[in-house]
Structure 1
């Protein structure tokens, strides 16, 4: 098994404690069904920071990268609901990456997720991808883990949307993303000190200065769950 489709939308942000309950209600019961009603959206999953610091990680799995510039999706981005308009200004430190799925092994949803955001060094993209292809394929069946997925950002050719303007056009993007899923948080955390440490990734072709996060699943749904 692997991610559902050839593309993904990966996002990170922080939410203030005073609006978290309203946010989770909106995100699970209005926003997920809205997005999953768009042709090409296959599955939506939200994880919350494992340290409960208000951080969120959300991943939408998509049939193809072209879904991210499709008329139905762009129309939704330009017509946010009143509930969306009220909550989107509270999405702080937004990182939003529209991605091709480069490698995907094992399940795409588990209790915990480790996300790693980084960039390949010039001329070393193939080497870094080969490392993650081999690593994710082997780790998916190891104790504590369920899957590993490598994503690469590419901005779709669309104009700034109403939702972006609500967020003051302040969205950042991660270049490459690795999502490791598992049922043991300690096993995922250990990767950042061993096989996926900054030193190890640098030796395989990544530039220094990546960002890591550990998350626990809050909500997941497929398109058929919302019909």
Structure 2
């Protein structure tokens, strides 16, 4: 089984008002993540905290397909949110969010730490060649010590458009074109991998511009019952 569940993913990078940090933690655990898993179509949700880089938090949702991310159940959730949710979301800043198609995925299980690379393809570059280069790097990553997963996520903007058409908050969140996620058991192995395969110079040679890099530790995971 590949480490990503399904072919759809929603990722969100945020900073949180320190005054709301503890309440936000509880909200994610008790309400936000479970309610999305329970609506159907969503398979797993994970929340991470930055060890290096920014923003401070990364949340990742996995779904059967990109279209399942904007299921009728999900659209009902984001079209009418609780007063607590509004208060907590008002404490978010530096928000980047998008819906994605899982283009390439390797591995099995979850890593305790993950590297997040937010990328843009160079203007005028060959799309097929850029993705082939990236996918070769993901395969190479899986041969390295303690790497347990390597994933390439390509934006699915039509799905986000359906979400934003009914959202109460977050319509102005920054968008992300492409994401590489590398999972491992230890942070030092991700640092080694970064220096070996995913430097900004190497990415540029492969046809990619790096918008943001972060190293994140897993805080919490919830998945569909029976998974």
SS at match of 2:118: strand
Does 2:155 align with 1:153? yes
Residue number in structure 2 paired with 1:206: 208
Give the structure-2-normalised TM-score: 0.90
How far 1:111 moved relative to its partner?
A: 0.7
Q: How does 1:1-227 map onto structure 2 within 5 Å?
A: 1-2=1-2, 3-51=4-52, 55-107=56-108, 109-121=110-122, 122-155=124-157, 156=159, 157-158=161-162, 159-164=164-169, 167=170, 169-207=171-209, 209-224=210-225
Give yes or no for contact 1:118–1:176 (8 Å, CA) kept in 2.
Answer: yes
- Deviation track 1:53-102 (CA, whole Å, cap 9, x = no partner) reads 77101110110011133221111111112321221111111100100000
CA 1:103–1:161: 2 relative to 1, 3 Å: same
Gaps of 5+ in 2: none
CA deviation vs aligned residue, 1:153-191 (integer Å, no higher than 9, x gap):
122242433342xx4x33001101000000110121233
3-state DSSP class of the match of 2:144?
A: coil
Contact residue 16 and residue 54 of structure 1 kept, 8 A? no
User: Any conservation in 1 of the 2:53–2:215 contact (CA below 8 Å)?
Assistant: no
The CA deviation string for residues 140-163 of structure 1, in whole angstroms up to 9 with x for no partner, is: 242121110000112224243334
TM-score (norm 1): 0.90
In structure 2, the CA distance between the partners of 1:25 and 1:186, relative to structure 1 (3 Å rule), is same
Q: How far did residue 201 of structure 1 move?
A: 0.7
**Structure 1 unaligned residues grouped into runs of 5+:** none
| Whole-angstrom CA distance in 1 between matches of 2:109 and 2:85 | 26
1:96-128 CA-to-partner distances (Å, cap 9, x unmatched) read 010000000013621101000011123322122
- Higher strand content, 1 or 2: 2
Contact 2:55 2:94 in 1 (8 A): no
Q: 1:58 to 1:154 in 2, by over 3 A?
A: same
- The 4+ residue runs of structure 1 with deviation greater than 6 A are none
| Equivalent position SS for 1:50 | strand
* In structure 2, distance between residues paired with 1:39 and 1:58: 18
Name the Cα RMSD after superposition.
Answer: 2.0
